[in-house]
Structure 1
């Protein structure tokens, strides 16, 4: 791609593939390459819009860096890489956010949209998949690739997410600033309920709204999702109304199984909890920012909010909303036990039949493997057509290896699991470091690849779609034992690459279709 080096796949969506790459200065970027020629129909108009949108700068808006024409006629969009977890995955894992957390998410989104509107732009796809929470809880609005200039041709393609599109847009009218405000209200509705706004052309009774979202934010949400665009507040007015409706509080962020490696989420969550218990409190800088209209005060000593954040390198595949997250943990002032209210079932599993030895030494001594079993796994991993002929066995073999590396906290074993220098490998190395620091281990954990099927197989690259389930297991830490339940995993796409030593995992993402 002109001016950029494309590295590893981060995710695939219906309209394109997202890659991690480097720009001409060597800076890490996210690159979405469209599947088809003509994905952005009018190249001149698109470039005009892109230059306007690239000029918009806001602390809660992820930057669209460039629009690059490819030699084959396709278009590539270049974004900053984002470290975080989507609002969709967080709410999906927890069920809903508290009103104060919703204020923390939605108020800055209103401000970011205000900046976009001020430059003459419209977003067009404000949805939970396009809002990310960084390691320090800062919300960011993504996907300027779906944005457009106000007054653009009504025939231009409309990108949007069901449940977050204004009723007039669903009827075929061109998006306006008011339709973005509807999406902001629908985002708040989702934070509080786990669902998008009701699909209706009728104005909802205030009592109906309160019955769904509660009393604190009912009035502002009702105003934002009013079916009459003229009755909705502007973006800056919505920001004020949300901020004044309830005290803002830090968000408990949870990465869902649709956003990270299907084999490491639970380990990373446990590592985050255990490491956070002894970690000093570090107030995120963005919470200390004062503004003319409002002041973000940060996590005060009296705040009851949990701030256990499990995050990763995340890229949204624009309209498709597909993401790939490779998780890391940050410190928390309060730790909620995994089985307490607000927690969710494990998103990910770690190994089949792997039980670490007693104690919490940094690298327990592994038991010798059966030579026959080892040679069989090696043969499978080196088999050129394994993703096509034996997808379930292949994912199981890689799952077992990753489980052993993580349970034994041995980064050297990751060479047999992850593609070297891939985001998956870097993330797993970081997880092992945190596991050692937390002095935690898992016992009796087994995983089962319930089913797997090849999605695509092209040369040295393949995608296998699989579901991984896991048994009950025990978390051992600081002399205490906590039982964890068995659960069913999510269906995910495993991007595999074949090197000189066989097949390895390069990325894991939600299914593209």
Structure 2
């Protein structure tokens, strides 16, 4: 693979990492295969390179193309480094590990473990059996639960961002938080979404409506693609005219009925009708004897269980634009569970009578 702005093969970064090849390139960065010459191991290195307003001089140094791009280039770099810091603090066997980040050549880099394997779409060129899919999904759900617990959202889950190692274990790669933050600032909507896999709220540059439920939509679309031979219709077109054929129809009989119903639940266009947490979704997706039955409707979802705190927080604002904790914003409509309102009314009545 070649890229017109990539570092020359053989370039040595930080006196430790020798560039050996290019793994991928997008509008906001280039990912290299490199060799840690001190530890004698392969690594992956991601370089901050916003192609639309950056250029490379002297074959190595990265700089804004003009004075008007200096501020947004620096802002994007800060987001890039911040994402690396967050990932470096999180270690999980099914999430690509960020081992180090550094600045050089007037741009930023973070060093990740080099993961070998096939993408999910290449691993399953035809629909897998339920058992095979369950073995991949359980670790992925655990990984996402850990991410969300740390206040981080992947924002770019799709079949090509899930690698299956030789031992069969999956690993999430290529997070999209910093890329989307910069895309929103530069009003580049195409970089915020991946048609078929991104939920409708991701089309809006405002992120207050995004959260764990957004990643759930994307993973649901990924599952749908694997079992149906292609992703669901683009979310934007579904809002205009929904031509989505439910998984419970396209794959009926090939998978558990509650599993297919859970995929359809994740792919609701209205985020308020989706699962709020991975824990809530897993109960039906993976088959929970105590939770079998129809998927909860909007009228029955609000119940006093262990997920209530997350649900209430969601309606305060759910999800910062920088991948921060859901409680950081306050732009969503306030929606309290009925039992909370009744409790508040009783407290007020008791105070009045006293």
TM-score norm. by structure 1 comes to 0.42
- After superposition, residues 312-391 of structure 1 pair within 5 angstroms as none
| 126, 148, 160: which one aligns with 1:95 | 126
Distance 1:231 1:135, change over 3 A: same
Flag the 1:42–1:207 CA change in 2: closer, same or farther, 3 A.
Answer: closer
1:166-315 equivalences in 2 (<5 Å)? 166-174=199-207, 175-199=210-234, 200-201=238-239, 208-214=246-252, 216=256, 217-233=259-275, 234-244=277-287
RMSD: 3.3
Please, which of 143, 147, 159 is the counterpart of residue 174 of structure 2?
A: 143
8 Å CA contact 2:99–2:113 kept in 1: the answer is yes
Contact kept, 8 Å, 1:40 with 1:46, in 2: the verdict is: no
Distance 1:48 1:141 in 2: 19
**SS of structure 1 residue aligned to 2:34:** strand
Q: Which residue of 2 aligns with 1:445?
A: none
Select the structure that is richer in helix: 2
Cα 1:214/1:104, change in 2 over 3 Å: farther
* CA–CA separation in structure 2 for the residues paired with 1:180 and 1:23: 37
Residues 154/230 of structure 1: CA separation in 2 closer, same or farther (3 Å cut): farther
Aligned mate of 2:82, from 44, 48, 52: 48
Runs of 5+ consecutive residues of structure 2 not aligned to the other structure: 1-12, 55-63, 65-72, 290-354
Cα deviation for residue 210 of structure 1 reads: 1.7
What is the total number of aligned residue pairs between the two structures? 242
Distance 1:198 1:141, change over 3 A: same
Task: Write the deviation string for residues 139-183 of structure 1: whole angstroms up to 9, x where unpaired.
Answer: 111113x23599999637754432110112124442422111100
Give the equivalent residue in structure 1 for 2:113: 80
Shift of 1:138: 0.7
State the SS of the aligned residue for 1:123.
coil
* Equivalent residue number for residue 344 of structure 2: none
Counterparts in 2 of 1:102 and 1:79: CA distance versus 1, 3 Å? same
Shift of 1:118: 0.9
SS at match of 1:238: helix
How many Å apart are 1:115 and its aligned residue? 0.7
Q: For each residue in 1:194-242, what CA deviation from the matched residue of structure 2 results, as whole angstroms up to 9, or x when unmatched?
A: 2112221279799743222335232110111111112211122223322
Distance of 1:117 and 1:137 partners within structure 2: 24
Does residue 100 of structure 2 align to residue 63 of structure 1? no
Matched residue, 1:11: 23
Taking the aligned partners of 2:245 and 2:230, their CA distance within structure 1 comes to 18
Instruction: Give the structure with the larger strand fraction.
Output: 1
Structure 1 unaligned regions, length at least 5: 247-513
Deviation per residue, 1:62-90 (Å, 9 max, x gap): 1122333221x233232101121111212
Are the structure 2 counterparts of residues 83 and 238 from structure 1 closer, same or farther at C-alpha, using a change threshold of 3 Å? same
The answer on whether the counterparts of 2:77 and 2:107 sit within 8 Å (CA) in structure 1 is: no
Contact 2:18/2:35 (8 A) holds in 1? yes
Distance 1:23 1:148, change over 3 A: farther
Match of 2:163 in 1: 132
Q: Distance in 2 between matches of 1:210 and 1:20?
A: 44
Provide the residue aligned with 1:117 in structure 2: 148
Assess if the C-alpha contact under 8 Å between 1:33 and 1:76 holds in 2.
Answer: yes
Equivalence for 1:500 = none
2-side partners of 1:223 and 1:176: how far apart?
16
Separation in 1, partners of 2:132, 2:204: 32
C-alpha change, 1:206 and 1:20, in structure 2 (3 Å) is closer
Distance 1:46 1:151, change over 3 A: closer
Classify 1:170/1:40 alpha carbon distance in 2 versus 1 (closer, same or farther; 3 Å). Answer: farther
SS across alignment from 1:78:
strand
- Counterpart CA distance in 2 for 1:90 and 1:8 is 25
Distance 1:89 1:31 in 2: 23
Contact 1:20–1:30 (Cα < 8 Å) also in 2: yes
CA–CA distance in structure 1, aligned partners of residues 39 and 249 of structure 2? 53
Alignment check: 8 A CA contact 2:157 2:197 kept:
yes
Contact conserved, 1:190 with 1:197, CA < 8 A, in 2? yes
Asked if the contact 2:79–2:178 (Cα under 8 Å) also holds between the matched residues in 1, the reply is: no
TM-score (norm. length: structure 2): 0.60
